[in-house]
Chain A
Amino acid sequence: MKFQPGFSSFLKPAGLKACAKPILRRAGFLFLMGALEVLAPPGSPAAEPMMDTSVFSESRLGAVESVKLGHFAQALRSEQTALKIAQDQYGPTSLLLVPILDDVAVLQWRLAEYRDSEESLKWGLALVEKNLGPGDGEVADSLDLLAGLYLDLNRLAEAEWVEKRALALRQASGAANPQSLARTEDLLGQVELGLGNASQAQTHFGEAQKNLEPGRQPDAAFSLHLLNHLALAYASGNDFNQAQSCLEKSMETAEKDFKPVSPEAVEAMEDLADFYDDRGQLEKARPLWESALKTSGQLVGGVYDYLALPHLKRLARAEDGVGDHPKARGLWLKILPVDEAVYGAKHPQVALDLMALADQDAKLGQKGKAAEELKESLAILKPLFPADDPLVRQLDARLADLSK
């Protein structure tokens, strides 16, 4: 070719090329990283990096650490930084963005940024479909996440459609990953339960149990979770004997597979106690609540922070169960500021805490205080959920009860 001095090249905007390689992202994002140096003279614009791996890995690992301490907003910022770096490196359509997008979406979900979370999940889903094809088994992972979000938002029809597609994809890909199939069956069961289809929910939970890999160490926490869901499905279908049986089995399993003094054991005890309470069998519920109280008391330490929250909530539940409402109220008063600090004052988690606090105030005869707390809770939930959402409806009903 003859060189033409006047030839003007077309300068393309910055951004880096896409070089997608399929990876098993749910098994962990495997990122190949060289030992890289980053050069950017002080005060000068950043030079084009092959990939700023130090910032990238610090961001991703930092996000994991932040989540452990409940610093979700910080974790989200870190993941968004990592996403930007990966996007610059691999281009906006690379499959390598998907695990980061999933993490971003989950953090947005946690922070009740539901619309952003849905967008992030849909972006990830589109990337998987584009890169691997809409029939690839990996698509089911993205669908599971999206269905989980819809379930949380009570968008059950959408959740059902999405999760049925996930199930079809998992079934088409054979028994390659029964654990994933079990989780999809469980999620679909929860959706059907929400839709009031108790028998279909039972079927899905049953299928999920069958798919727990027989030859491998069972996921004990997931087994408990499934038993609890099965109990709910049986109770929904008015089969209370089966429901009771599932909850009893859950308690036995929790004490066997976990330590007797463990969060799982307390949770299982409290679920069974709740069941007896709801059935009016207070004599059976009482010893369970007492036992749960004793055990959960041992699990709560002296520091009331994010890590202590689940223990404090179980303890408050147990105090309520044994009828010690002042103590339960005191615990919810400790829980509330921690949840506010972790999620922000306008988060549904805080609304739920306020509901629990209002419940205790009502039981203590403080109806005015309880009504204020419920109104505050409603003010948080109404911008986030539609008026016919069960959470909102439940709050309205409680407020109406209080005003009687």
Chain B
Amino acid sequence: MRRFITLFLAALFLTPVLPVRADYGNRFVANKRIPLPLDRSDKKISYRFTCAEDMEITDAAVFCVEAEKPPAYLLSLQEDEKGRPSGTPLASSSFVPRPLSWTTLPLARALLQKGKVYHLVLEQDKMRGGDHPVGVIGPSNWASFLCTDVLNHLHCADGSPDPNTNVLGFEGGQWRELNREPVFAVYGAGEKYLGNPYDDPGERPIYGGVDPNDKSKQVLQGEALHFHCGYPATAFAIRIKKQGHPTSPLNYLILKHFYQIHKTAPVYKAEALEPGQVPSEFQWVTVGFGDKSKSNFSPECWFLVLQTDSGRPSKDPPGCEDCYVLSDVGNSGGLAYAAQFTFDGGPHLSREVYSVDGGDSLTWKDEFERDADWVAIGPDCPPPVKMEYEPMPTPEPLRDILLQGKFPE
């Protein structure tokens, strides 16, 4: 049950904690990529996860960060035994990884059950299908595979909890939890997707531009949230920081989106935070909506974006000075159907959006494979109503009507 958020009379307040789980938006966080090297044959990595729905697995994908004349590696799907991989592959595939890229591997079809814990295990493929070791692994022949630093314990596609997610390392004959976020993808028959495609932690600069009077150069950042029910949001939470010393407040805008012509229309604008209220390191901040009649969202895409008159572009990360920065997570490319794994699934539902021309209504850009850390806070969606539609009866056969000669003599 979603926790009820009490709002103070003031339209604005700060809560430097992660927003409650059931509210709607992307709460998945990553600050940096962490490569896990597999440079010895006795080392293994496991990406542990809970299966979110029954599925018949067909493929799996992992991200190789670095590779130096790498040996072949074996990716296997294994059941869980007391938090560790069972050691018995349900399916496996061998490959030689390529650096800074995803590799998708076919797996023999195996049924995964909803709620059950599984492991995707990476290790050197010593035998490569034979009966004696082949290939070399060591300081000059190795590869590393990706995880990210913050263990979210979430299914990123819908924000549901997964307390079992973790990365495990095997070394010296022992499995050990590394408390990192696994980066992997699992494909199931019937267009089912599970995993974490966010291989690219990001920072999204929000600034006013070189000329404070020219608002057409302002850079705005946000998330298109596609609500799944009528959603009277009371507040929103963003993971934000300031860069340098912004002088103008950070504002939020609610924009209506007309998807057929990809045009937005402004609905509401208000101040979100004064510069002094924004931390210098990324932190979740909750902001109450000023006019609740404007944040009563219908079940469709709404652009929730941030704007400021302060700051200017910079060549160095995060891309601006004396500005604000919104954190996000994204996929760098190369993963098939990556958008389906991100928050709220495919490219026509929730996704990150930005503008580099002051929020011009026709030129908003979509980042289908990225999601800003932005959560709307409101009540639960009502339980779904079940409706049953009986199939249409087929017509009476034409030829039954011809009765004459029906019974031959």
Contacts and interface: CB of A to CB of B under 8 A. Distances in A.
The answer to whether A and B belong to the same complex is yes
Interface of A: 1-9, 11-12, 14-22, 25-26, 28-39, 44-51, 57, 60-61, 63-64, 67, 75, 91, 93-95, 99, 102-103, 106-107, 109-110, 131-133, 145, 148, 151-152, 154, 190, 194, 231-232, 235-236, 238, 243, 274-275, 278-280, 313, 317, 348-349, 352, 355, 359, 390-391, 394
CB-CB nearest 3 A-B residue pairs: A17-B346, A48-B259, A39-B298
A109 B396 CA distance: 11
A132 B298 contact: no
A67 B258 contact: no
Contacts of B394: 106, 109, 145, 148
A48 B301 contact: yes
Nearest to B406: A274
Interface string B385-409: 1111111111101110111111111
B390 A275 contact: no
Interface stretch (B62-70, B86-94, B117-125, B198-206): B198-206
A12 B351 CA distance: 13
Interface string B66-85: 00000000000000000000
| Centre residue among B203, B205, B258, B367 by max chain A CB count within 10 A | B258
A275 B386 CA distance: 48
| Centre residue among B190, B228, B258, B339 by max chain A CB count within 10 A | B190
Interface residues of B, number: 70
B26 interface: no
| Centre residue among A36, A57, A102, A232 by max chain B CB count within 10 A | A36
B48 interface: no
Interface string B305-348: 00000000100011100000000001010000001100001111
Contact of B230 (A36, A47, A63, A190): A36
B269 to A, nearest CB: 18
A359 B259 CA distance: 60
Given A48-B226, A94-B191, A152 B395 contact: yes
Contacts of B356: 5-6
Nearest to A48: B259
Given A67-B393, A145-B394, A232-B407, 15 more contacts: A1-B200, A11-B262, A17-B347, A18-B191, A19-B346, A21-B190, A34-B381, A35-B382, A37-B230, A48-B260, A64-B392, A107-B392, A131-B190, A148-B397, A279-B407
A25 B389 CA distance: 9
A45 B258 contact: yes
Contacts, number: 215
12 contacts: A5-B319, A17-B345, A29-B388, A31-B386, A39-B298, A50-B227, A50-B229, A102-B392, A106-B392, A152-B398, A278-B405, A352-B401
Nearest to A359: B404
Contact of B366 (A11, A21, A33): A11
A25 B230 CA distance: 28
A84 B257 CA distance: 20
A152 B390 contact: no
A21 B347 CA distance: 19
A31 B385 CA distance: 8
A2 to B, nearest CB: 5
B317 A37 contact: no
A44 B258 contact: yes
Given A22-B190, A35-B230, A152 B399 contact: yes
Contacts of A31: 386-389
Contact of A45 (B205, B230, B261, B405): B261
B133 interface: no
Contacts of A231: 407
B227 to A, nearest CB: 7
Nearest to A104: B392
A278 B230 contact: no
Nearest to A34: B229
A278 B190 contact: no
A235 B340 contact: no
B116 interface: no
B219 interface: yes
B398 A348 contact: yes
B348 A17 contact: yes
Given A3-B204, A16-B349, A99-B391, A9 B366 contact: yes
Given A17-B347, A37-B298, A131 B393 contact: no
Nearest to A310: B396
Contact of B407 (A36, A110, A278): A278
Nearest to A352: B401
B299 interface: yes
B271 interface: no
B149 interface: no
A152 B403 CA distance: 15
A5 B398 CA distance: 66
Contact of A3 (B203, B230, B399): B203
A340 B7 CA distance: 65
A106 to B, nearest CB: 4
Contact of B300 (A2, A47, A238): A47
A12 B347 contact: yes
Interface string B257-282: 11111100000000000000000000
B365 A9 contact: yes
A232 B407 CA distance: 6
